[in-house]
Amino acid sequence: MEFWMIGALANTAITATYLAIALIIFRGIGAAGQWRANPLALATGCIFFTCSVSHGLRVAHLLLLLLGVEAEIGAATRQVFSAWHISAWDSLTAAMALWYFSQRRISALVRGAQIFEDVRVRQGEAFEIHDNVVQRLANAKMALDSGETQECLREVETTLAASRKIISDLMGDKRTGHVVRPGDLRRQSPAGRS
């Protein structure tokens, strides 16, 4: 087998794999409605798509030469692919593309933006609890340990009010419009047991 044939096979594999990856990414973005919200996934999909077209054109030129169409370009392409290092490199690229495709985690790219958003929201909630509950309870304990009972009681009352507000906000989540329904407050075990 000549080197240009190896190059043609490698480029065919690259074209098909890159196209499949691009389609998976675009389908995921569409299903999640993230065309604007996830530019990283969109750009990644576009890169795979344009590279797929680029490698596909090389294959097309080689094939058209066999049919006698666009013979000059086809001959030049074949000459390029006759250099062993170009075909070898394309073969390596094809192997990498197939390896990437086999990971079957491409959809994670699409979930990425949502995951980052979820983490950001969760960290915000953690900070709110830290600042309004943990810090105040620590303050109450320090006051109690220092014998400042009034300060301790005041801080416990403030913490109680802050905790209620946080829980109310989380239960009737303003972001998602979630409304608490009968059964939502059913617990796995009695309160106070951890």
Number of residues that bind another protein (CB under 8 A): 16
Nearest of 192, 135, 136, 128 to residue 159 by alpha carbon: 136
Nearest of 90, 34, 43, 39 to residue 62 by alpha carbon: 90
Least CB distance from residue 127 to another protein, whole Å?
A: 7
CA 159 to chain centre: 37
Q: Which of 1, 33, 105, 145 binds another protein (CB under 8 A)?
A: 145
Q: Which is nearer to another protein, 120 or 130 (CB)?
A: 130
CB atoms within 10 A of CB 175: 7
Least CB distance from residue 139 to another protein, whole Å?
A: 4
| 131 touching another protein, by CB under 8 A | yes
Can you tell me which residue has the tokens 């594999």? 13
| 151 touching another protein, by CB under 8 A | yes
Nearest of 131, 125, 193, 123 to residue 158 by alpha carbon: 131
| 157 touching another protein, by CB under 8 A | no
| 138 touching another protein, by CB under 8 A | yes
Q: Residue 31: CB partners within 8 Å, gap ≥ 6?
A: 110
Q: Which two structure tokens, joined as six digits, stand for 80?
A: 């390029």
| 128 touching another protein, by CB under 8 A | no
Least CB distance from residue 157 to another protein, whole Å?
A: 13
Per-residue buried b or exposed e for 73-87, using 16+ beta carbons within 10 Å of the residue's own CB: ebeebbeebeeeebb
Stretches 23-31, 63-71, 111-119, 142-150: which one binds another protein (CB under 8 A)?
Answer: 142-150
| 84 touching another protein, by CB under 8 A | no
Name residue 132's amino acid. N
Q: Which is nearer to another protein, 51 or 152 (CB)?
A: 152
Least CB distance from residue 194 to another protein, whole Å?
A: 15
Q: Which of 142, 161, 170, 171 binds another protein (CB under 8 A)?
A: 142
Name residue 75's amino acid. A
Residues near another protein (CB under 8 A): 127, 130-131, 134-135, 137-139, 141-143, 145-146, 148, 151, 155
